């Protein structure tokens, strides 16, 4: 495909035309699409485009129920947990929604030393975390990649008691193909980058200066990551900047482009909504706020359209919204997060935005268990090389339950033995006893029970 100079493969005219000229679908059509969705193979993007126009409350309820069915059939009751690790809030960009923007002179700036990174990791591991998302502003210039790689090496090599970080996902400024190759060699999990908005005029307005103001370079980051051999990439939209319907239609174009060029779509989709950030006036009054109802519709539609793609929800959202979102299809959540560099080992650099969920990881886990979900710290697929297309092959109905559920159970057991409060341990052990019966294969069920006994005796990191 030939990229146009400004907007690349995002066909703005086509989206404008669709939104201006298409009526919401009739009930019968919605029902037909939803019954197709229940076959668990995903629906066509044309079908998603139709569902996106549904506004009727009763039909929306049907969409939510279908998303819930798909989520249960494919993922069961498992929820993967992670924590973001902010290593630097220096930034040369001026994204008008972000507290780290260069023109925010009041923000206390910091870049962690490698020793400080290790302190942060000690704190996170001591809380029970096994997966981190390394996040950084774009202010380190030429040394940024070397620094990131040193951080990754320090994180993987920091062991605390029985625990360590076993997977590092990365959300940093886009790189060249060569840069991405180095990131891959450092053994990252997923490379994440949010387009923020696919709408070119809005993108230019909210990214007035700095390297990030180049829409096309940002948009084509995942192409370069794939070319460099990174096969798990995570995309995202910052909801509130522009019309969510435009954004979803453009996201579908992005996914279609990646599938066509590389045979594979994104591994995860993140759905942040703008949160208030000191020094970023737009964040207090986003131009296109997304209501809770619309937000639920977005999550449900993504779950229905790409059933095997992870959906990530952060602590930007309140506990109430997070609970609802689990049932609609969210598969990964952050917990106990801090968005300021050094925040876990109590340094006081400025935060990126304020959080909606301030609970500790143990409080989140207790709540998740009470809702009947099993927290997972699994890093098995990535470490066994089940990434990219291999992961997608595994992610057929039933197979996630076969591997991911036992791995959720064993990693959660480690958490319960090593880190949990008495209340969480009690509710968690009961949950595990019930969940074991849901493992569909007898041999794997028996092996999981044996793994649990070995974990009780002190062994760690047992997985399928």
Give φ, ψ of 271 to 5 degrees. Answer: -130, 55
Comparison of 276 and 397: residue with beta carbon closer to ligand SAM: 276
What is the rounded CA–CA span in Å between residue 325 and residue 256? 25
C-alpha closest to that of 410 among 372, 445, 448, 384: 448
Q: How far is the CB of 270 from ligand SAM (least distance, A)?
A: 8
Stated as kind and residue range, the H or E segment containing 320 is helix 319-328
- 3-state secondary structure (DSSP) of residue 439: coil
Q: DSSP label at 109?
A: P
Stated as kind and residue range, the H or E segment containing 168 is strand 167-171
What is the rounded CA–CA span in Å between residue 420 and residue 416? 5
Q: Which range in 224-232, 248-256, 269-277, 381-389 contacts ligand SAM by CB under 6 A? A: 269-277
What is the rounded CA–CA span in Å between residue 49 and residue 421? 46
Comparison of 54 and 274: residue with beta carbon closer to ligand SAM: 274
The yes or no reply on residue 91 touching ligand SF4 (CB under 6 A) is: yes
Residue 248: how many CA atoms within 13 Å on its side-chain side? Answer: 27
Q: How far is the CB of 316 from ligand SF4 (least distance, A)?
A: 13
CA dihedral 118, 119, 120, 122 (to 10 degrees): 90
Q: How far is the CB of 276 from ligand SAM (least distance, A)?
A: 7
- 3-state secondary structure (DSSP) of residue 336: coil
Q: Which range in 155-163, 193-201, 299-307, 415-423 contacts ligand SAM by CB under 6 A? A: 193-201
| Residue 275 binds which entry of ligand SAM, ligand SF4, none, CB below 5-8 Å type-dependent | ligand SAM
Name which position in 8, 128, 137, 286 contacts ligand SF4 (CB under 6 A).
Answer: 137
The yes or no reply on residue 138 touching ligand SF4 (CB under 6 A) is: yes
Task: Tell me the per-residue interface mask from 195 to 224 with ligand SF4, x by CB under 6 A, - otherwise.
Answer: -----------------x------------
The yes or no reply on residue 353 touching ligand SAM (CB under 6 A) is: yes
Q: Which residues bind ligand SF4 (CB under 6 A)?
A: 91, 93, 95, 98, 100-101, 137-138, 212
Q: Which residues bind ligand SAM (CB under 6 A)?
A: 97-98, 135, 137-138, 171-173, 193-194, 196, 238, 272, 274-275, 277, 280, 283, 316, 352-353
């Amino acid at each position: 495909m030939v990229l146009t100079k400004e907007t690349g493969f995002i066909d703005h005219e086509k989206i404008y035309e669709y939104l201006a000229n298409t009526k919401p679908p009739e009930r019968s059509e919605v029902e037909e699409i939803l019954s197709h969705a229940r076959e668990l193979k995903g629906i066509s993007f044309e079908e998603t485009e139709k569902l996106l126009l549904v506004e009727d409350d009763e039909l929306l309820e049907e969409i939510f129920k279908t998303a819930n069915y798909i989520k249960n059939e494919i993922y069961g009751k498992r929820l993967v947990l992670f924590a973001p690790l902010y290593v630097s809030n220096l930034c040369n960009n001026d994204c008008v929604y972000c507290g780290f923007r260069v023109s925010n002179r009041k923000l206390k700036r910091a870049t962690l030393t490698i020793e400080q990174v290790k302190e942060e990791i000690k704190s996170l591991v001591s809380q029970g975390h096994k997966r981190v998302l390394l996040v950084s502003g774009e202010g380190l210039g030429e040394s940024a990649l070397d620094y990131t790689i040193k951080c990754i090496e320090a994180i993987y090599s920091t062991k605390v008691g029985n625990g360590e970080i076993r997977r590092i996902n990365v959300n940093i400024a886009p790189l060249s193909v060569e840069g991405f190759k180095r990131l891959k060699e450092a053994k990252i999990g997923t490379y994440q980058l949010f387009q923020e908005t696919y709408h070119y005029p809005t993108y230019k307005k909210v990214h007035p200066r700095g390297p990030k103001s180049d829409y096309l370079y940002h948009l084509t980051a995942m192409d370069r990551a794939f070319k460099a051999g990174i096969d798990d990439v995570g995309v995202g939209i910052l909801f509130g900047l522009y019309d969510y319907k435009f954004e979803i239609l453009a996201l579908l174009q992005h996914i279609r482009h990646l599938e066509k060029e590389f045979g594979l779509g994104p591994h995860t989709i993140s759905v942040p909504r703008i949160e208030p950030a000191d020094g970023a006036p737009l964040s207090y009054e986003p131009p296109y706020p997304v209501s809770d109802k619309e937000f639920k519709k977005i999550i449900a539609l993504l779950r229905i359209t790409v059933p095997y793609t992870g959906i990530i929800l952060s602590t930007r959202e309140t506990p109430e919204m997070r609970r609802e979102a689990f049932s609609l299809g969210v598969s990964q959540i952050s917990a106990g997060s801090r968005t300021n560099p050094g925040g876990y080992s109590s340094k006081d650099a400025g935060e990126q935005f304020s959080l909606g969920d301030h609970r500790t990881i143990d409080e989140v886990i207790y709540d998740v268990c009470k809702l009947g979900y099993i927290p997972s710290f699994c890093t098995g697929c990535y470490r066994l090389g089940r990434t990219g297309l291999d992961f997608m092959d595994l992610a057929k109905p039933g197979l996630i339950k076969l591997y991911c559920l036992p791995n959720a159970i064993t990693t959660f057991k480690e958490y319960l033995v090593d880190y949990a409060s008495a209340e969480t341990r009690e509710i968690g052990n009961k949950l595990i006893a019930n969940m074991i019966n849901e493992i569909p294969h007898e041999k794997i069920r028996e092996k999981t029970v044996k793994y649990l006994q070995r974990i009780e005796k002190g062994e760690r990191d047992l997985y399928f």
